[in-house]
Structure 1
Amino acid sequence: MNCDRIAALLTCYNRKLLTLACLKALFNQELKREVTIDVYLVDDGSTDGTAEAVTQSYPQVKILKGDGSLFWNGGTRLAFGEAIKHDYDYYLWLNNDTLLQPSALSNLLETSQRLRNQGEPRAIVAGSTCDPHTKALTYGGVMRRSRWRPLKFDLLEPGEAAKRCDTINGNCVLLPREVVQVVGNLEPAFTHYAGDWDYGLRAQRQGCTVWVAPGYVGTCSQNYQPGSEADSSVAIGEGLKKISQPKGLPVKEQVLHPFWEWRIFAQRHGGLFWPIYWLIPYRRLLGISLLGGRRQHRMNQ
C-alpha cells in the first residue's frame, strides 16, 4: 500500500492552549489510508511557554524558532521552506487556532485524489471552517467579487462536491507536491496578510487549479469582528501608523493591509487599473479620520 507523506506547517505566537488543541486534533485524524504526518511548527518568539509545552506533549514536532517578526506569512514560509527540502507528497497549511474534525484530512486527501483522477494533478484544496458558536463560514475558498473588483474577495460556501474558486484563505489548505514544484514557497514580500491570496492566484497563472473541499473541515473563529472600536474613528496619524504594521488596520468589514505590501499585491493581480484598486481601500481611513475629527470638534464647542 502506498503511504502518503504529509508535512503540516504551523506558526504560532503566545497561543499555547490553542496550539496544543490544534495539534491534538491533527494527530487524532481518522484516516482511510496509510498516511504519515510530520509537523513543522514555527514558534515566533512566544513568551508563554508554547514551545516547551509542545515539546513535552508532542516531542515528534519539529520546532523552528522565530524572533517575533515573522507573523503568519513569514512563519509559514519558514516552515514551508524547511519541509520542501524533504520532498513530501503533500503540504498542509494549518492555522494554530483551527480545530480539525476527525475526518478533515481524509476529506482533503480524497478531494485531491478525485481531482487527480479527473485530470487535475496540480489542484490546491482549501478546507472551509466555521465559527464554533454561530457555525457561520469563517475561512476557506474565495472568489473575486467581479471583474471590476478584482482585489475584492468573497467566501465561497462549501457544497456536497468540490467547488472551483479563485484563491484561498491559508487557515487549512492541502497542496500536493506537483503544485509546490511549480509555485514554490510563499512570497517573502508579505508579512502577515495577502500571502495566501497571492499564492492561489500565482498558482492559477502557472497552470494549477484552486478548489474548496466539500463541507466543513473544522472550526476557526474569525480574527477580526466588525463592530470593534477600530470601526468608530481613528486619527489620521494613528491610522497611518497602524497600516504600516504587519497586521494593518481593521476598518468596517475589512482590514487595511500594510500600504506597500498591498501595492505589491495590487500591481501583481489588479490588472491595468491596479493603481486605482491599490488606493481604493485607503479612502475609508481618510473618511473615518475626517468623521472622527468633526465629532471631536463638535464635542469641544
Structure 2
Amino acid sequence: MTPIHIVIPVFNRKEHTRECLKSLRAQTDTNYKVTIVDDGSTDGTEEMLKTEFPEVDILKGDGNLFWTAGVNLGLRHALKQGSEVFMTMNNDVVTDEQLIEKMIYWHRQKPEALIGALELDAFTKKPIFGGERLNWKLNKIDQVLEKLPESNRRGLHAVTHLPGRGLLIPKIVFEKIGLFDEDRFPHYIADYDFTHTARRAGFELFVNYDAKLLTYPEESGERQLRSNKSFKNYYKHLFDLKGGGNLRDFTRFTLKNCPPPYIPYHLLNGYTRRLLGYFLK
C-alpha cells in the first residue's frame, strides 16, 4: 500500500500545527507523508516547518485560498506524486498514536469507503463526535455517538456525511466525483458537500471508532463568533465566508444535495435555525 498522503491547510496558529505534526511523528504506523498548505501565515509557520519538520512538503498560498482551495491544492500535489490514499486534516487536532494504523486496517477491509475518525475533547479526553445521519425527509440529524452504548464504540459505523478533519479518501473517489467544490463552498460545508456527493455516487461512509482525534471545539471561528455575541458577529455568522451560519453556503448546499421534494421545508427550517439559533446558544 502506498503511504497515506495527509493534506493539512494552515493559516497561522503555529503552535497547533506543531502539536499536530508531533503527534503524527508518534504514530505506531509511519506509512504516511504530509503536505502542508500554508495560506499566507505571518506568525513564523513556514520557518518552524522548515526547521523542525523538514520531511513535510510545504505549498504556499497568498491568503486567499481558505479551506477548500487550500485542500484542493494539496490534493493535486499528492495526486501528481502518484498517491492512492489521501487524508484531509485540520491543524488544530492531535492524533492518537494508532490513528494511521487503525485507518489503514479498516481501509483494507473497505478499500473504496470514505472513513472519518472518532473525535475526543482534547482536554477531557471524552468522545464528543462520532458521526451523523441526516434524514432529509424528517429534516433531522441523529448523532451516532449518542445512540451507541460504550460497549459498541468500536469499528466502523455508517454515516451520511463526514467532516474534513481526519477524513480518509481513496483515489477512486476523486476519479469519480472530482475534488472539493471550492467554487460553491470556499470554506465551511465543503466537506459535508463532498461526502454527500460521494455517497450519492455509491461510496460508503463510515466513522472509525478505533481511530481517534483530539480536537479543540472552542478554537473554531464559529464558536468564537457565538461566544462573543454582538450584532457585528451576528452579521459575520450569517454572511462572512467563515461564518458557520452562512446563508449563501447553506442555500447552495441544500439546492445541490437535498432531494427536490424536501427542499422548501429544509430551507425554511435551516434559515430559522440560523437566524434565531445564534442568540439561543
Fold agreement, TM-score > 0.5: yes
Q: Which residue of 1 aligns with 2:213?
A: 218
1:185 aligns with 2:173: no
Distance 1:228 1:58 in 2: 30
1:205 aligns with 2:200: yes
**3-state SS of 1:65 partner:** strand
Q: Which residue of 1 aligns with 2:131?
A: 141
Measure how far apart 1:233 and its partner are: 5.6
1:173 aligns with 2:167: yes
Kindly provide the amino acid, as one letter, of the partner of residue 90 in structure 2: N
Q: Which residue of 2 aligns with 1:29?
A: 27
Measure how far apart 1:267 and its partner are: 0.5
Matches within 5 A, 1:86-97: 86-97=81-92
Measure how far apart 1:68 and its partner are: 2.0
Q: Which residue of 2 aligns with 1:264?
A: 252
Relative to structure 1, is the Cα distance of residues 18 and 238 closer, same or farther in structure 2, using a 3 angstrom cutoff? closer
Matches within 5 A, 1:223-242: 223-224=219-220, 230=226, 234-235=230-231, 239-242=234-237
Distance 1:91 1:45 in 2: 24
Q: Which residue of 2 aligns with 1:48?
A: 43
Relative to structure 1, is the Cα distance of residues 225 and 178 closer, same or farther in structure 2, using a 3 angstrom cutoff? closer
**3-state SS of 2:199 partner:** helix
**3-state SS of 2:69 partner:** helix
Distance 1:290 1:61 in 2: 42
Distance 1:202 1:129 in 2: 23
Distance 1:282 1:148 in 2: 16
Relative to structure 1, is the Cα distance of residues 61 and 162 closer, same or farther in structure 2, using a 3 angstrom cutoff? same
Distance 2:278 2:199 in 1: 38
Kindly provide the amino acid, as one letter, of the partner of residue 175 in structure 1: I
Q: Which residue of 1 aligns with 2:240?
A: 245
Relative to structure 1, is the Cα distance of residues 140 and 14 closer, same or farther in structure 2, using a 3 angstrom cutoff? farther
Matches within 5 A, 1:54-69: 54-69=49-64
Aligned residues: 272
Structure with the largest fraction of strand: 1
Q: Is the 8 A contact 2:130 2:209 kept in 1?
A: no
Kindly provide the amino acid, as one letter, of the partner of residue 62 in structure 1: D
Measure how far apart 1:90 and its partner are: 0.7
Measure how far apart 1:186 and its partner are: 0.7
Distance 1:241 1:229 in 2: 8
- Bigger Rg over Cα: 1
Relative to structure 1, is the Cα distance of residues 114 and 57 closer, same or farther in structure 2, using a 3 angstrom cutoff? same
Distance 1:97 1:175 in 2: 20
| Structure 2: gaps spanning 5 or more residues | none
Given the alignment, which residue of 151, 154, 178 partners 1:160?
A: 154
Q: Is the 8 A contact 2:102 2:211 kept in 1?
A: no
Structure with the largest fraction of helix: 2
Measure how far apart 1:238 and its partner are: 5.8
Q: Which residue of 2 aligns with 1:14?
A: 12
Kindly provide the amino acid, as one letter, of the partner of residue 230 in structure 1: R
**3-state SS of 1:168 partner:** coil
Normalised by the length of structure 2, the TM-score is: 0.85
